[in-house]
Structure formats: C-alpha cells, structure tokens
Structure 1
C-alpha cells in the first residue's frame, strides 16, 4: 500500500520526487522508484539529518525496501547520505563517481563548517556502470546510463522507460545556474542533446523545480549558447575579474538561482582555452569572487 507524503510527490505510477523549490548550494532533489519487491533511491542528500527524513518518508509511504541506490555523480549533496542506507543496499554509479568520492572524501563540509552535516562516512558506489545497466525492481525496470562528462567527468542518468521518467542529476538544473568547475562545458552540449534523444515525458533535475517536458534541457542549451559566446567575448575583450562580474550581472540568466556561478563558468571556460591560469580556479579565490558578485562576503549554503 502506498500512502501520501508531504515530502515526496508522486510523479507517475512507480516514481516519486522530493524537490526543493528553494534550491541553493548543496540542496538537491531526491528520487524514489518503487517496484513490487524492491525500490531504488536516486541520490542521497548532503546532511544526515535530511537523509534520516528521506528514509522515514520512504517507510511512511509503504514503499518496498530500498535495495538499490544510484548516485548521479560524486558531489556530496548527492552522495553523503549513502552512509545511512541499509548495509545490504547496492549502490550504483559511474567509475568516475566512485573515484571522485574516494578522492574528495568529506572536503565539501570544510567549505561550510557551520552546516550541521552529521557524522558522514564516505560510502562510494560499488556497482559501477561503464555503459548501461538495467536494474529490475519487480515489475519495474530501471536503466542506468553512463552519460559521460558534463556536470562532472562521469554523470549517470536514471531512466524508467515504462513511466517515461528521466532523473538527470545536475546535468539539468532547472532555473538554477549550472556549475562546470568539475565538469566539461563543451561535452555538456552533446550530453544534453543525448537526453533530448531519449524523449522522456518527465525530466527530474538535480536542483530546482520540475518543468514541463524537456523545457529544462532546452533552457540548459540556451544557457550553454550564452556561456560559450560569453567566454569567447571575455577572451577577445581581455576582461578582468571585475568586468566579468559586471558582464554576468546583466546576463539574460541573472535571475536564475545561484547567478554567481556564471562568473565561475566563464573563468572555467577561459582557463580551458589557455586564457587564464589554473590558480584562478582555486576555490578560496573563486568562492570569494562569486560571493562578491552577489554582494556577499561568503557563499551561503542552505543544506
């Protein structure tokens, strides 16, 4: 029996979504795919407090036991909650996600030390998806697709063909500025086009609200068009940091959540083309510049 929830919203017969309309740094969306004899959780939240609520809400729904989980990428706001999953839970992810989880550990927590993260123990994926893997939940098949580089160096898509639902992780961030510091701006275009070719009726973003159909992907492609032309313009104009900040403040995407990320994205693109030095992308410097671009001394995390 499936009950109602104030946390999860039922999207289709087999899928549930917990979206955080407020969004923000480290506040991500969570998915649940429920089958007859098991369920699969898509991503886990950044804090153990929120992860405990996720587990409580899943139990309250009357869903099947969480026997599987899928991490769409390695960032802590999509993986830290793994450590509270049942011991027998099989966690899927790309090889790159496993590598980055082990390499980065809990470094994210040091960026916002005032956040109550909980006693996090890094638990990376152990079932690795090189190309595509199908997980059977009892009457429901879930396709896990290695999408390659985009938001990170190895992003995972979670597709439920029967329900025409795609969990896109941070490859799609509706009305929320993407962040390419750890990914690949150029590869992101082909990755988003690949998502369009899947023709899903519903696309669940890693952050931000649900949007009808593929609108979020189309808006993401529009942002990439702007970003790539802006990178070229910044290089041709030999823009300094202050000029980049002012340029982004007047962009057509300045009203999206976390607009400060555009400053970082332009610098990432300039660095990739040899117009900036790698030291310009050091977090201590980059975070201060992003914060200053929105009139703050530091970036705010709502995890």
Structure 2
C-alpha cells in the first residue's frame, strides 16, 4: 500500500501548467486536478471511500488550492465511488457528468455491489460500505466550467466505452483527459454496456480536439499522446470492421471469435462481438436461410 504520510513526496505530478495527475496502483486509476484562480477541479474520484480518503490526503499535501468541483467521466464505479468522501472532506461542491452517466450510476453501482457481495475480493467490504453520491450538474453534449482565470470544457463525443462518456479539455494547457475512451494500462475495456461499432468514430471526434503536442491522460495507465490515441482508434476500428465483415459474410456470431483476425486477444472481445452483431443494422448482416 502506498505511503500517504505527511513526509512522503506528493503523489500528484504536474503534467502541464496547473494540471496534476496522480496514478494509483489499484486498477491503475488516474485522478486529475486542474487548477484555476477559483480553485481545483478534480476529474474522477476512485473506487471506494477508503481510497478516496488517500486521494484527499494527497490533494492536501499538494497544497495547490481548495477543491471546488468534481467531474465523473462516466458511470462506472471506479470513477465515482469517491464522490461522497470528497464532499465530506472538502465541503459541498458541484459534481459534473453527462445526463446519461448520472441517470445510470445507481444501476451500474447496484451491479458492482451484486458482483462484490457474491465474491471474496480483498476489498469487498470497503466497496460495499461506500456511500453513493450522484452528480448534480449534468449536460448532454458540451459545457464549459469557469475556474476563474481558465476555462475547462466537458465534451460528450459520442458512445464508446459507455453511452455516457465525457472527455475534459484544458485548452490553454493543451491537455485532454480521455476517461476510459482511452486506456494505457490494458486495452480499452469493451463491456456489456459498450458500443464497439461507434467507439472508433467517437475517438475520431476526440482526436479532432488534439494537436501533436497534446498531453493525453487516460482513465487508467500512464500519460500518453495523440499518436497513442490514434493507434488505439485504429485497433478499435479494426475490431469494428472485422465484426462488420464477418456478419456481412454470414459467419455466425458463435464462430466469429474463432474466424476473425483480431488485433487483441479474442478472449477480450466476447462482448464486442455480441454487441457488434446486435448493433449492426439488418442490411449489413447475411442472415442464415431457414
């Protein structure tokens, strides 16, 4: 477990002017602070109250200003289970998310609790004991947050990892926070609530927000750049086109993982294939003769 004593070095590292990122070993989660003259905006809050208290300690040790707002990049628990703790530690503040994420957080959290209640994970109790705190400032396409002497943009670029992903753009620092639309520690997770056929086009829009000097903070893993995101978009595009090709040639869904040539381990693509076949329009699938 990481040392969070007062004498340990600050965990938050400045990756661009007044933009600090802390990388946490559990799930390789990134927490980002964006500083302005009116205070700090925190993007994502980690996966339990216990971990969020460590994050809060790290914020205090950084000493960059008061925490005045939170952003949840999507509805998955590892990005918002620290919300209530941040409010307890620093006082009431707005919590921003997309409309979709806010409306589906409770449903998503219930699935997480059901999963951990049934298992013996070493963090089971701390996850089940975490209090849910919903976002209270939501938007559908884009919104700007005023931090005093700098503006921060929240943008919903489309469906991908979930239907409610947002990215955070700090224009004056040329920083983009990708949430789980971009992951460095592992290939992006394509789960049962993902949109694999739309994800590549969503990343096209995200790439349009970047320059060749943009600092990109993924939801999990180390800081990356535009080239990394382009490579990940290419891989996701290959997955989508492979699904489209297989379905168009009449390959049954049950045989697609075996017959396709995939850029990732096929074991990671079970949901991608199932959802891809389901999301394709009828005109793009060769249906078996009955």
Give the TM-score normalised by structure 2: 0.81
Larger radius of gyration: 2
CA distance in 1, matches of 2:57, 2:251: 53
Stretches of structure 1 that go unaligned for 5 or more consecutive residues are 276-303
Match of 2:62 in 1: 61
CA distance in 2, matches of 1:5, 1:99: 38
Contact 2:216 2:223 in 1 (8 A): yes
- 1:86-126, Cα deviation, whole Å (9 max, x unpaired): 24111001110110113333321322342331522221111
Per the TM alignment, residue 175 of structure 1 is displaced from its structure 2 partner at its CA by 5.5
Match of 2:178 in 1: 168
Cα distance change of structure 1 residues 138 and 95 upon mapping to structure 2, 3 Å threshold: same
Match of 1:219 in 2: 231
Q: Secondary structure at the match of 2:29?
A: coil
Match of 1:144 in 2: 154
- Of 93, 96, 113, the match for 1:92: 96
Contact 2:44 2:70 in 1 (8 A): yes
Match of 2:264 in 1: 253
CA distance in 2, matches of 1:103, 1:153: 14
Match of 2:107 in 1: 103
Per the TM alignment, residue 233 of structure 1 is displaced from its structure 2 partner at its CA by 4.7
Matched, 1:129 2:139: yes
CA distance in 1, matches of 2:41, 2:146: 10
RMSD, matched Cα: 2.6
- Of 200, 204, 207, the match for 2:217: 204
Contact 1:156 1:168 in 2 (8 A): yes
CA distance in 2, matches of 1:139, 1:124: 28
Contact 2:253 2:273 in 1 (8 A): no
- Of 180, 184, 202, the match for 1:191: 202
CA distance in 2, matches of 1:31, 1:247: 41
Per the TM alignment, residue 150 of structure 1 is displaced from its structure 2 partner at its CA by 1.8
CA distance in 2, matches of 1:101, 1:137: 26
Q: Secondary structure at the match of 2:75?
A: coil
Per the TM alignment, residue 226 of structure 1 is displaced from its structure 2 partner at its CA by 1.9
CA distance in 2, matches of 1:69, 1:53: 16
Number of aligned residue pairs: give it: 263
Higher mean displacement: 174-183 or 143-152 = 174-183
Per the TM alignment, residue 138 of structure 1 is displaced from its structure 2 partner at its CA by 3.0
Matched, 1:154 2:158: no
CA distance in 2, matches of 1:234, 1:208: 32
CA distance in 2, matches of 1:192, 1:10: 25
CA distance in 1, matches of 2:277, 2:257: 14
Q: Bigger relative contact order, structure 1 or 2, given CA contacts below 8 A and separation 6+? A: 1
Q: After TM superposition, where is structure 1 displaced by more than 6 Å over at least 4 residues in a row?
A: none
